[in-house]
Amino acid sequence: MLAEALKKIKVGHPRTFAGLSVYPLIGVAGASPGDAAYTVLDDALGKGTARITEVSDSGSVPELAFENDGDRPVLILDGEELVGAKQNRIVNLTILAPAKSKVVIPVSCVEAGRWRSMSREFKGSPQVMYARARAGKAESVSYCMSIDGTHTSDQSKVWDDIGRKQRELKSTSPTSRMTDTFEDRGAELDDYVSNLPRVEGQVGAVFALAGKVSCVELFDSAETLEKMWPKLVRSWALDALSISNRPHDVRPVAEAQALIDEVAAAKPAEHKALGLGKDLRFGGGRLNGGALMHDDALVHLCVFRDASRDDDRGRRRDERGDDNDWTGWRPGRMTSASRRNR
């Protein structure tokens, strides 16, 4: 079903700004060309039909309580940031929460220096986790799902990635908040959003940093992409700031298409999704990320390509068709000690 959905997508000509290239994906990836059959998280929170809180008064770093009082499912995006309560978090994977339901959602901390309540409920954020850290988080989540069925990330690596990004961009934060880094460079990120607009009928994009095709992200409707687009551009722009002055070539459309074809030919592991649908996970090789399918149709896909794994071992694994061979890859697991803030 995923391969069939990807066949319906056409890659448009790229737009480029300061180190970041975006190849628009046009077509119908989901069940129909109509409006989405769900509400996105920001809209649900804004209408008051959904709420997110700590799971208890004492809280738990890797889990939050989500309640959907609305009549439609709510789409919660992989990497989406949640601000407030005891500390800011990001969502570990895409979830389609059923109407009139309560779901415990797996999250990662993106504010290592705070563990005190600032609000009872979380609110949304204008960004998802920046792209390179989101890719690393997705890989560790896929690994945990393959090993023991949990949806946890390598929390220590998430904290390390945020610290590295803050040093790289000379950003400071008293609580190591990821949000502070986005806010410090807010005007520059807004320039990326302004210079990389959507095109008519766009449902996704292939992203490239410094000419290196790195990720494909796809939704089932142009309506959803429109609402998520500024967040996604800001995510990639934060990484692009580090290489914006380097010369690079804009790669041909064929290279973006090749990534889509590679994803379509892969054999991801299938899991029952949290909430509605099936969760397809890519990992252990050049591709990592996930796709959410519901009613035999694609809802969301986000898959990163790691060119550093283009070695003999990676090629042999791909030739075998074993797309989830985790041999030689072991993330640091989140222990009870690392669940507490540093």
**Is residue 105 in some structural domain?**
yes
User: What integer pLDDT is reported at residue 36 of this predicted model?
Assistant: 83
**Is residue 165 in some structural domain?**
yes
pLDDT tens-digit series, residues 91-116: 999 999 999 999 999 999 999 999 99
> Is residue 331 over pLDDT 60?
no
Quickly tell me which residue has 């920046």 as its tokens: 130
pLDDT band at 243 (very low <50, low <70, confident <90, very high): confident
Which residues lie below 8 Å from residue 60, measured CB to CB, with a gap of 6+? 54, 339
**Is residue 336 in some structural domain?**
no
Q: Decide the pairing of beta strands 89-91 and 81-84.
A: antiparallel
User: Mean pLDDT throughout 264-290?
Assistant: 95
User: What integer pLDDT is reported at residue 113 of this predicted model?
Assistant: 97
HSE at residue 329, side-chain half, CA atoms within 13 A, is 21
User: What integer pLDDT is reported at residue 128 of this predicted model?
Assistant: 97
**Is residue 221 in some structural domain?**
yes
| DSSP label of 89 | E
> Is residue 250 over pLDDT 90?
no
Encoded tokens for 214:
């790195």
User: Mean pLDDT throughout 210-221?
Assistant: 95
pLDDT band at 186 (very low <50, low <70, confident <90, very high): very high
User: What integer pLDDT is reported at residue 61 of this predicted model?
Assistant: 97
| Higher-scoring residue by pLDDT: 179, 314 | 179
User: What integer pLDDT is reported at residue 308 of this predicted model?
Assistant: 67
> Is residue 213 over pLDDT 60?
yes
**Is residue 26 in some structural domain?**
yes
pLDDT band at 324 (very low <50, low <70, confident <90, very high): low
> CA-CA distance, 228 to 216, in Å (whole number)?
14
User: Mean pLDDT throughout 165-176?
Assistant: 96
pLDDT band at 311 (very low <50, low <70, confident <90, very high): very low
User: What sign for the dihedral angle of Cα 231, 233, 239, 242?
Assistant: negative
**Is residue 209 in some structural domain?**
yes
Longest dimension (CA), the chain: 53
| Higher-scoring residue by pLDDT: 327, 119 | 119
**Is residue 333 in some structural domain?**
no
Average confidence score pLDDT of the chain: 90
Amino acid sitting at position 54: E
pLDDT band at 341 (very low <50, low <70, confident <90, very high): very low
Single out the residue of 12, 30, 27, 7 nearest to residue 206, CA to CA: 12
> Is residue 20 over pLDDT 70?
yes
- CA angle in degrees (0–180, nearest 5) for 177-217-180: 10
User: What integer pLDDT is reported at residue 337 of this predicted model?
Assistant: 34
**Is residue 176 in some structural domain?**
yes
User: What integer pLDDT is reported at residue 205 of this predicted model?
Assistant: 98
User: Mean pLDDT throughout 63-76?
Assistant: 98
State which residues form the domain around 161: 2-320
Backbone angles phi, psi at 167, to 5 degrees: -70, -40
**Number of structural domains the chain divides into:** 1
> CA-CA distance, 191 to 244, in Å (whole number)?
12
Helices 131-148 and 155-168 cross at an angle (nearest 10°) of 170
> Is residue 234 over pLDDT 80?
yes
Which residues lie below 8 Å from residue 195, measured CB to CB, with a gap of 6+? 15, 17, 18
- CA angle in degrees (0–180, nearest 5) for 127-132-138: 85
pTM of the model: 0.90
pLDDT band at 336 (very low <50, low <70, confident <90, very high): very low
